[in-house]
């Protein structure tokens, strides 16, 4: 799961919407005896039905519209999976035509688009119709992330606690890549240096190993930002706009704080202001941040276009 961002701006918009309109009476967030696992969400109910609920279970957001034919393929699949997962995540459906402000706040450029909220933070999942197997893999990763990083235990559905998959289902899941086992063990032990070296060892023998490459990039980001004061990093960046090292560190902090837009804009501007080796350092660093956030995040292609605009 990549590209987790803060939802403060969306929450503020929801607060304003709630003041303008009362929540619809026809579809309560919870049914008698337990939480409904598929809910319709509006600007007025976003804070309660998404942000607050995301403190208990991952909330998967399906952005759709009545005229969207691909939505009519994806939405029923997501609804069926939400029922099957029985409270391990909740599916929130947002009609982009009825809720344009929410679509704008989330940067939705095309539908269907699927995102998730965990503990009040946003994680892009996928855009367009995906096969069921891929959807399951993404949802399994989402639930695992919710449990391990945010302590989300799921919601009670019809009076029954959310349950993890039984042993038989767990046994059917494919084992992790054994090549990455040393890195995984180091990360679990909090040994970032050891994890980085383990990823490098894999890449020395398997240069095209995508997971090892991404793991190394993420681990190096954590190493670079250990003990860094975020406010000071940004203040230094404001004071030294032409210093590539200062700007890249501030961009790293932005990424960790879920402010990818700011990180991308910062480095695009740094590329514009610099030349030669310094410009190339800023460009390469920006490309690494693109990989961390993920190509499926709509902010990445937008930033790539901005980068191309200053390069050519």
Under CATH, what is the fold of the domain 230-311? 1.25.40
Distance (Å) of CA 190 to CA 36, 69, 156: 38, 46, 33
Residue 197: C-alpha distances to residues 23, 94, 190 (Å)? 52, 43, 13
> What is the rounded distance in angstroms from the CA atom of residue 309 to the CA atom of residue 271?
11
What is residue 120's predicted lDDT score, i.e. its pLDDT?
A: 80
* pLDDT score recorded for residue 210: 84
pLDDT at 277: 93
Dmax of the chain from CA atoms?
A: 65
Q: Where are the domains of the chain?
A: 5-150, 178-225, 230-311
Closest CA to 26 of 37, 13, 39, 16: 39
Q: Are 262 and 256 in contact (CB under 8 A)?
A: no
pLDDT value of position 155: 81
Query: Superfamily for 5-150?
Result: Glutaredoxin (3.40.30.10)
Instruction: Give the global pTM.
Output: 0.47
Let me know if the fold of 5-150 is the same as that of 230-311. no
Burial of 65 (C-beta count, 10 Å sphere; 0-12/13-18/19+): middle
pLDDT in tens, 98-153: 999 888 888 888 899 999 988 888 888 888 888 888 899 889 988 888 888 878 88
The pLDDT value given to residue 127 = 85
pLDDT of res. 122: 83
CA distance 141 to 126: 13
pLDDT attached to residue 18: 43
pLDDT for the residue 171? 46
Residue in the block written with tokens 């691909």:
70
Given 71, 74, 116, 292, which residue is catalytic?
A: 71
Report the pLDDT value the prediction gives residue 31, as an integer from 0 to 100: 32
Q: What is the pLDDT of residue 248?
A: 95
Q: Which residues, in sequence order, are CB contacts of 14 under 8 Å at separation 6+?
A: 43, 44, 46, 47, 51, 102
Residues (pLDDT < 70) of the chain are: 1-34, 158-176, 312
Which listed residue (68, 142, 162, 263) is catalytic? 68
Residue 71 among the catalytic residues: yes
Long-range contacts of 200-203 (CB under 8 A, 24+ apart): none
The predicted pLDDT at position 299 comes to: 85
């Amino acid at each position: 799961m990549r590209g987790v961002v803060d939802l403060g701006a969306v929450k503020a918009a929801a607060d304003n919407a709630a003041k303008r309109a009362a929540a619809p009476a026809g579809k309560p967030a919870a049914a008698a005896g337990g939480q409904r696992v598929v809910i319709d969400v509006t600007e007025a109910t976003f804070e309660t039905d998404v942000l607050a609920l995301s403190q208990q279970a991952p909330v998967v957001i399906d952005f759709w519209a009545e005229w969207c034919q691909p939505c009519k393929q994806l939405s029923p699949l997501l609804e069926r999976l939400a029922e099957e997962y029985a409270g391990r995540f909740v599916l929130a459906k947002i009609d982009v035509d009825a809720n344009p402000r929410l679509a704008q706040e989330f940067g939705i450029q095309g539908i269907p688009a699927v995102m998730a909220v965990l503990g009040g933070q946003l994680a892009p999942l996928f855009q367009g119709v995906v096969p069921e197997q891929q959807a399951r893999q993404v949802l399994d990763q989402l639930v695992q992330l919710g449990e391990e990083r945010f302590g989300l235990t799921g919601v009670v559905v019809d009076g029954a606690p959310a349950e993890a998959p039984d042993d038989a289902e767990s046994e059917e899941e494919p084992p992790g890549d054994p090549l990455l086992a040393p890195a995984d063990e180091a990360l679990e032990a909090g040994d970032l240096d050891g994890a980085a070296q383990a990823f490098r060892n894999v890449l020395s023998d398997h240069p095209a190993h995508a997971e090892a490459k991404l793991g190394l990039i993420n681990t190096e980001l954590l190493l670079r930002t250990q003990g860094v004061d975020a406010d000071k990093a940004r203040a230094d960046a404001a004071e030294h706009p032409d210093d590539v090292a200062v700007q890249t560190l501030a961009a790293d902090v932005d990424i960790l704080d879920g402010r990818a837009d700011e990180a991308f804009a910062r480095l695009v501007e740094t590329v514009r202001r610099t030349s030669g080796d310094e410009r190339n350092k800023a460009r390469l660093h920006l490309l690494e941040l693109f990989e961390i956030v993920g190509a499926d995040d709509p902010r990445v292609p937008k930033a790539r276009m901005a980068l191309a605009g200053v390069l050519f």
